[in-house]
Chains A and B, each alone.
Chain A
Amino acid sequence: MGRRFGARRVAAFVAALALLVPFGAPPAAGVEPTESGIVCTSGDANPTFHLVAGAGNIGTPDGNTIRMWSYAADPGAFQFPGPTLCVVEDAVVTVVLRNELDEPVSIVFPGQAGVLAGTGDPDVTPPTDPVAPQFDGGNLVSLVQSAAPGATVNYRFVASSPGTYLYESGTNPAKQVQMGLYGGLVVRPAGQPSQAYAEADTAFNPSTEYLLLMSEVDPALHQAVERGLPYDPSTYHPRYWMLNGRSFPDTLAPNGSPLLPTQPYSSLIHMEPRTDANPLPALVRYVNVGTRSHPFHPHGNHGRIIARDGRLLRGPSTQDLSYEKFLVNIGGGQTWDALYDWRDTELWTPSHPIPVDLPQPQDAAYKDDVTWYAGSPYLGYTDDLPVGVTSFNECGEYYHMWHSHALNEAANYEAAGGGMMTLQRIDPPGGCPPAP
Chain B
Amino acid sequence: MRRSLIRRAGVAGTCLALVTAVVPVAFAARPGTAVGTPGVATIGPSAAAIPSASCTLVDTTRTCELWAKTGTIDLPGSSGITTLGFAPSAGTEPQVPGPTIKANPGETLVVTLHNTLAETVSLAFPGQALAPDTAGAPAGGDATYTLALDGSGTFLYEAGLTPNGPRQVAMGLYGALVVGGPPPGVDKDSLVVFGGIDPQSNNAWPAGSLNDYEPDYWVINGRSYPDTESIDVRPGDTLLLRYINAGLGEESMGVLGLRQTVVAMDGTPLAWPMDVVAETVPAGGTMEAIVEIPASAAVGDRYALGSGHGHIFNGPSGPDGLPMGGLLTFITVVPEPVVVSTDTQSPLVGRLAVGITQATPRVVVATTADDRGHGGSAIRGAEWFIGADPGAGLATPMIADDGSFDGQFERIRGEAPVSMLRPGRHVIGVRAVDAAGNWAALGTSWIAIPDTRLKDDFESGTLAAWSATRGTSQLAVRAAGALEGRRSLNITVRGAAAAYLVDASPSAWTVYRAQFAFQPRGTSTGGRAMDLFVGRAASGAVAFRIQYRRTSAGLLQVRAVSRIGAADRAGGWVTIANRTHQLDVTWRASATGGVTLLVDGRSRSAVNGDNRAVRLDDVRLGAIAGMSAGSTGRLVVDAFVSARDTIVAPLWPAPFTRLGPE
A residues lining the B interface (CB < 8 Å): 108, 110-115, 130-133, 138-143, 170, 172-175, 177-178, 230-235, 290-293, 308-311, 313, 315, 319, 321, 329, 331-335
Closest to A144 in B: B256
> With A172-B324, A291-B310, A332-B278 given, is the CB distance from A132 to B302 under 8 Å?
yes
Are the C-beta atoms of B319 and A333 separated by less than 8 Å?
Answer: no
For the complex, what is the distance from the CA of A133 to the CA of B256, rounded to whole Å?
11
B342 near A: Cβ within 8 Å? Answer: no
Using a CB-CB cutoff of 8 Å, which residues 303-357 of chain B contact chain A?
Answer: 304, 307-313, 315-319, 321-326, 328, 330
Across the interface, which residues of B come within 8 angstroms of A315, CB to CB?
272
A309 touches B275 (CB 8 A): yes
Given contacts A113-B258, A175-B322, A308-B274, whether A332 and B252 have CB atoms under 8 Å apart is yes
Q: Are B272 and A231 interface neighbours, CB within 8 A?
A: no
Asked whether B316 lies within 8 Å of A131 as measured between CB atoms, the reply is no
A328 to chain B, nearest CB (A): 11
Set of chain A residues within 8 Å of B317, measured between Cβ atoms: 230-234
Give the contacting residue for B308; candidates A234, A313, A332; CB below 8 A: A332
B626 within 8 A of A: no
With CB as the reference atom, state the residue of chain A lying closest to B318.
A230
* Complex contacts, B330 vs chain A, CB 8 Å: 133
Given A115-B257, A132-B302, A309-B277, the answer on whether A140 and B225 have CB atoms closer than 8 Å is yes
CA A308 – CA B214 in complex, angstroms? 31
Extra inter-chain contacts (17) besides given A131-B257, A178-B310, CB under 8 Å: A108-B256, A111-B259, A138-B226, A139-B323, A173-B310, A174-B322, A174-B324, A230-B319, A231-B317, A291-B311, A309-B276, A311-B275, A321-B272, A331-B252, A331-B308, A334-B276, A335-B277
**CB closest residue in chain A, given B309:** A332
By CB atoms of chain B within 10 A, which of A130, A170, A321, A332 has the most? Answer: A332
Are B254 and A231 in contact, CB atoms less than 8 angstroms apart? Answer: no
Most buried by B among A113, A234, A315, A319: A234
> Across the interface, which residues of B come within 8 angstroms of A131, CB to CB?
257
Q: How far is the CB of A140 from chain B (nearest CB, A)?
A: 5
Taking a contact as CB atoms closer than 8 A, the residue among B298, B309, B322 that contacts A172 in the complex is B322
Is the beta-carbon distance between B278 and A293 smaller than 8 angstroms?
no
Q: Are A293 and B256 in contact (CB under 8 A)?
A: no
Query: Please, which residue of chain A has its CB at the minimum distance from the CB of B304?
Result: A143
For residue B300, which residues in chain A have a CB less than 8 angstroms away from its CB?
132
B277-295 with Cβ < 8 A to chain A: 277-280, 294
For residue B51, give the distance in angstroms from its CB to the closest CB of chain A. Answer: 30
CB distance from B167 to the nearest CB of A (A): 20
The residue on A at minimum CB distance from B308 is A333
A73 to B219, CA, bound (A): 37
Given the interface pairs A231-B317, A233-B317, the reply to whether A173 lies near B312 with Cβ below 8 Å is yes
Interface of A is mostly: loop
**Cβ–Cβ contact B277 & A334, under 8 A:** yes
> B residues bordering A, Cβ < 8 Å?
214, 216, 225-226, 250, 252, 254, 256-259, 272, 274-280, 294, 298, 300-302, 304, 307-313, 315-319, 321-326, 328, 330
How far is B126's CA from A144's CA once the two chains are assembled, in angstroms?
Answer: 38
Chain A residue at minimal CB-CB distance from B217: A234
A-B contact pairs, 17 of them (CB 8 A): A110-B277, A130-B301, A131-B257, A142-B324, A143-B304, A172-B324, A173-B310, A173-B324, A230-B319, A231-B317, A293-B252, A293-B280, A311-B274, A311-B276, A319-B272, A333-B277, A334-B278
Interface contacts (Cβ under 8 Å), in number, total 134
9 nearest A-B pairs in the assembled complex, by CB-CB distance: A333-B308, A331-B252, A331-B280, A291-B310, A332-B308, A333-B278, A174-B313, A332-B309, A309-B277
Min CB distance B550 to A, Å, is 83
Q: Is the CB of B308 within 8 A of A111?
A: no
Rounded to whole Å, the gap between the CB of B658 and the closest CB of chain A is 54
Least CB distance, B295 to chain A, in whole angstroms: 13
Is the CB–CB distance between A331 and B309 below 8 Å?
yes
Choose among B309, B324, B328 the residue that contacts A139 (Cβ–Cβ < 8 A).
B324
- Measured in the bound complex, the distance between the Cα atoms of B252 and A108 in whole Å is 17
The residue of chain B having its C-beta at the shortest distance from the C-beta of A333 within the complex is B308
Closest B residue, CB atoms, query A311: B275
Residue of B257, B278, B294, B315 near A331 (CB, 8 A) is: B278
Question: Please, which residues of chain A bring their CB within 8 A of the CB of B257?
Answer: 112-115, 131
The residues of A that contact B258 with a CB separation of less than 8 Å are 113
B residues less than 8 Å from A334 (CB atoms): 252, 254, 276-280, 308
Question: How far, in angstroms, from A110 to B309 measured CA to CA in the complex?
Answer: 14
Asked whether, in the complex, the Cβ of B322 is within 8 Å of the Cβ of A233, the reply is yes
The complex places the Cα of A321 from the Cα of B226 at a distance, in Å, of 39
Q: Within the complex, what minimum Cβ distance (angstroms) separates A155 from chain B?
A: 12
A233 to B327, CA, bound (A): 14
Query: What is the distance, in angstroms, from A404's C-beta to the closest C-beta of chain B?
Result: 15
Taken together as a complex, chains A and B put the C-alpha atoms of A132 and B315 apart, in Å, by 25
Residues in chain A near residue B294, CB distance under 8 A: 113-114
Residues of B within 8 A of A311 (CB): 259, 274-276
A113 contact set on B, CB distance < 8 A: 257-259, 294
B280: chain A residues within 8 A (beta carbon): 293, 329, 331, 334
Q: Verify A111–B315 contact, CB threshold 8 A.
A: no
The one of B216, B278, B310, B316 in contact with A110, judged by C-beta atoms closer than 8 angstroms, is: B278
Given A113-B257, A332-B252: A233 and B277 within 8 A (CB)? no
A325 to chain B, nearest CB (A): 14
Residue in chain B with minimal CB distance to A313: B274
Q: Could you tell me if A110 and B256 are in contact, using CB atoms closer than 8 angstroms?
A: yes
Instruction: For the complex, give the distance between the alpha carbons of A377 and B252 in Å.
Output: 42
Q: How far apart sit A361 and B311, CA to CA, in the bound complex (Å)?
A: 49
- Whether B279 pairs with A331 at a CB distance below 8 angstroms is yes
B548 → A minimal CB distance (Å): 78
In the assembly, what is the distance between CA of A141 and CA of B328, in Å?
Answer: 13
Output the nearest chain B residue to A319 by Cβ-Cβ distance.
B272
Query: Taking the nearest CB of chain A, how far is it from the CB of B253, in angstroms?
Result: 9
Which residue on chain A has the smallest CB distance to residue B320? A230
B310 contact from A143, A177, A235, A310, Cβ within 8 A? A177
CB distance from B390 to the nearest CB of A (A): 33
The smallest beta-carbon distance between A64 and chain B, in angstroms, is: 22
Q: Which of A112, A143, A321 has the most CB of B within 10 A?
A: A143
Query: Complex: how many Å from CA A309 to CA B330?
Result: 21
Identify A140's interface contact among B277, B315, B323, CB under 8 A: B323
Who on chain B is nearest to A174 by CB?
Answer: B313
Residues of chain A within 8 A of B226, CB atoms compared = 138-140
Query: In the assembled complex, how far is the CB of residue A97 from the closest CB belonging to chain B, in whole angstroms?
Result: 17
CA distance A115 to B302 in the complex (A): 12
Question: A114 CA to B225 CA in the complex, in Å?
Answer: 24
Please give the distance in Å from A159's CB to the nearest CB on chain B.
14
Which residues of chain B have C-beta atoms less than 8 A from A138's C-beta?
226
| Closest Cβ–Cβ distance, residue A104 to chain B (whole Å) | 12
Q: Is the CB of B309 within 8 A of A291?
A: yes
For B302, what are the chain A residues with a Cβ–Cβ distance below 8 Å?
Answer: 132-133
Assembled-state Cα–Cα distance A315/B298 (Å): 31
Which residue of B has the minimal Cβ distance to A142?
B324
- Nearest A residue (CB) for B275: A311
A309 to B250, Cβ gap below 8 A? no
How far is A131 from B304 in the complex, measured between Cα atoms in Å? Answer: 11
What residue in chain A is nearest B215 (Cβ atoms)?
A234
Complex: how many Å from CA A309 to CA B280? 12
- Indicate if the CB atoms of A174 and B274 lie closer than 8 Å: no
Using Cβ atoms and an 8 Å threshold, which residues of chain B touch A310? 277
Q: Is the CB of A332 within 8 A of B272?
A: no
- For B279, list chain A residues within 8 Å (CB): 331, 334
B210 to chain A, nearest CB (A): 17
Tell me the bound Cα distance from A132 to B256 in angstroms: 10
B3 to chain A, nearest CB (A): 25
